[in-house]
Amino acid sequence: MSEIVTTQLPVMESFYTIQGEGYHQGRAAYFIRLGGCDVGCVWCDVKDSWDAAKHPLHDIGTIVAGAAQYPGRIAIITGGEPLMHDCTPLTGALHEAGFQTHIETSGAHPVSGKWDWICLSPKKFKAPLPEILPLANELKVVIYNKTDFQWAEKFAAEVSPNCKLFLQPEWSKSGQVTPLIIDYIKDNPQWEFSLQLHKYIHVP
Ligand code: SF4
């Protein structure tokens, strides 16, 4: 009899909603927020995610069954920093169940799992590993102050030519930085605006 391997991951929350950010903005998706992050962004709006031990371990099968209750077939793995975990079993099970697998990551840990869409959102507090840059389908840079544009360009120069480029205002600084982003995109049209739509339509 073959051995049954049970793989578990710490899940902070999971929910079916509308993707609010980036290239897939507006599409129905099931979010799986894994616990654990060591990046330490000062403006992080999910600080409760940082300590993985605070979040219950869920079997992969239970996680996928939760997603499969809904008709959408995009599963977005977020965090926390999801690449602190081996995502291979989870993405394998999601693919078997017919999902497209998306990840939102800072890239600060080695890539694991098979991904249909990698959204790389590099953070100043812990740099992404160079290996993820050519794999990113989308580069989403959060703009907190005007020096961040130059920092964003550093990564834009290292991603693949097909990678979509997004600038997103940091929520608490949105009033100050949104006009700067608009001007920057008008001058540098390879970039697009990412709005955090979910915060305007009041969905998670
Ligand atoms: Fe928060 Fe994400 Fe930064 Fe981690 S990488 S501290 S979860 S914003």
Per-residue pLDDT tens over the stretch 6-48: 599 999 999 999 999 999 999 999 999 999 999 999 999 999 9
Residue with the smallest CA separation from ligand 1 atom 8 is 44
Q: Is 64 in the pocket of ligand 1 (CB under 6 A)?
A: no
Q: What is the mean pLDDT of the chain?
A: 95
pLDDT at 6: 58
Residue indicated by tokens 């920057």: 184
Instruction: Give residue-wise pLDDT tens across range 163-184.
Output: 999 999 999 999 999 999 999 9
**1: confidence class by pLDDT, cuts 50, 70, 90:** very low
Q: Name residues whose C-beta falls within 8 Å of residue 145's C-beta, 6 or more positions apart in sequence.
A: 173, 177
Mean pLDDT along residues 130-146? 97
Q: Is 80 in the pocket of ligand 1 (CB under 6 A)?
A: yes
pLDDT at 161: 97
Q: Kindly give the distance from the C-alpha atom of residue 33 to the centroid of ligand 1, in angstroms, as a whole number.
A: 11
pLDDT at 33: 98
Structure tokens at 166: 């997004």
d(CA 187, CA 200): 26
- Of 118, 128, 167, give the one whose Cα is nearest residue 144: 167
pLDDT at 201: 86
pLDDT at 167: 98
CATH 3.20.20.70 fits 8-201, yes or no: yes
Q: Kindly give the distance from the C-alpha atom of residue 139 to the centroid of ligand 1, in angstroms, as a whole number.
A: 15
Q: Is 40 in the pocket of ligand 1 (CB under 6 A)?
A: yes
> What is the rounded end-to-end Cα distance, in angstroms, of the chain?
43
Q: Locate the DSSP E strands across the chain.
A: 8-18, 28-34, 57-59, 74-78, 100-105, 117-120, 138-143, 164-169, 191-193
Task: Report in angstroms the alpha-carbon separations of 137 from 23, 43, 83, 166, 204.
Answer: 9, 25, 16, 11, 23
- Whether residue 5 has pLDDT greater than 90: no
Task: Report in angstroms the alpha-carbon separations of 124 from 55, 58, 188, 197.
Answer: 26, 31, 22, 24
Instruction: Give residue-wise pLDDT tens across range 97-117.
Output: 999 999 999 999 999 999 999
**Substitution site in 13, 21, 31, 39 for ligand 1 pocket (most atoms within 8 Å of beta carbon):** 39
pLDDT at 143: 97
Q: Name residues whose C-beta falls within 8 Å of residue 151's C-beta, 6 or more positions apart in sequence.
A: 124, 141
| pTM tops 0.85 | yes
Structure tokens at 96: 């078997």
d(CA 79, CA 11): 9
- Whether residue 2 has pLDDT greater than 60: no
Residue 124 CB coordination number (10 Å)? 13
Residue 162 CB coordination number (10 Å)? 7
Question: How is the chain split into domains, by residue range?
Answer: 8-201
